[in-house]
């Protein structure tokens, strides 16, 4: 390997991509070549910054910008470099190659970060879809249970609420129709009424006026249910007067 070849290995060395024998020869070379040593430091710092940048989502135009940059800056071939060229000229000629490699590193990091982000989002979406499907199956099972009983009441503003209970499944479903949206920063919270003690049974979607909710927790021991308006995220105990109280069907 010639000295000219060694000059082209700065980026590969910074990314730990050299074989052991190449790495040893290059390290001996950088001990005498200040320009290559400087390039290695710069590439190392760039790689570290790009590693941090992978935690952010690049803009939609970034990929096109990087690809345009890559095709407009050509990598200098080490075979055409004349060893008699003065060092100051050699440094200037290597600049385009340096920036082309930096652009390629940026593209790889950005696109890799995008792929990782998209993969994580896809996994999250799949998990959420599985959870929603499981809830829908349980909700349908309660409504279709042979022992399912229901009770309906009129809520404020002309809305209607129906609770369906299946003792064999130890579950309940609350179905709301035409409910007014809760105040900003608030949410409707469902409760089981355990002989006067209210036990949280989950939250309703504040953006929906009509909804079927699989109530959380066991029906056993509850004589009815209630609805209150609570801060977003819900409360461990009711903090407002009930919007509705509804006894379970016998």
Give the model's pLDDT for residue 86: 44
Residue entry with tokens 């050299």: 18
**Tokens (6 digits) for 194:** 């355990």
The residues pairing with 151 across neighbouring beta strands, listed in sequence order, are 163
pTM of the model: 0.51
**What residues does each domain of the chain span?**
3-119, 149-247
**Is the pLDDT assigned to residue 74 strictly greater than 60?**
no
Q: How confident is the model at residue 81 (pLDDT cuts 50, 70, 90)?
A: very low
The least confident of 67-81, 128-142, 148-162, 180-194 is: 67-81
CA distance linking residue 50 with residue 48, whole number of Å: 5
CA distance linking residue 105 with residue 34, whole number of Å: 23
Local structure of 223: helix, strand or coil: coil
Summarize pLDDT for 119-167 with one digit per residue, the tens.
Answer: 566 666 777 777 777 778 888 888 888 999 999 888 877 888 899 999 9
């Amino acid at each position: 390997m010639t000295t000219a070849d060694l000059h082209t290995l700065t980026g590969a060395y910074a990314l730990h991509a050299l074989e052991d024998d190449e790495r040893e020869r290059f390290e001996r070379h950088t001990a005498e070549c200040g320009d290559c040593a400087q390039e290695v430091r710069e590439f190392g710092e760039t790689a570290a910054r790009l590693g941090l940048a992978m935690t952010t989502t690049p803009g939609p135009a970034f990929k096109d910008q990087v690809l345009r940059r890559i095709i407009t800056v050509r990598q200098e071939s080490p075979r055409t470099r004349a060893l008699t060229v003065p060092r100051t000229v050699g440094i200037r000629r290597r600049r385009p190659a340096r920036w082309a490699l930096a652009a390629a590193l940026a593209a790889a990091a950005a696109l890799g970060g995008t792929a990782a982000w998209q993969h994580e989002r896809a996994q999250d979406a799949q998990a959420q879809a599985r959870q929603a499907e499981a809830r829908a199956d349980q909700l349908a099972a309660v409504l279709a249970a042979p022992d399912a009983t229901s009770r309906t009441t009129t809520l404020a503003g002309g809305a209607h609420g129906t609770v369906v209970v299946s003792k064999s499944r130890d579950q309940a479903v609350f179905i709301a129709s035409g409910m007014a949206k809760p105040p900003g920063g608030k949410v409707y919270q469902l409760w089981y009424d355990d002989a006067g003690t209210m036990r949280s049974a989950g939250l309703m979607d504040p953006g929906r006026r009509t909804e079927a909710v699989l109530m959380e927790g066991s029906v056993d021991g509850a004589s009815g249910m209630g609805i209150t308006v609570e801060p977003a995220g819900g409360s461990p105990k009711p903090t407002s007067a009930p919007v509705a109280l509804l006894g379970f069907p016998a």
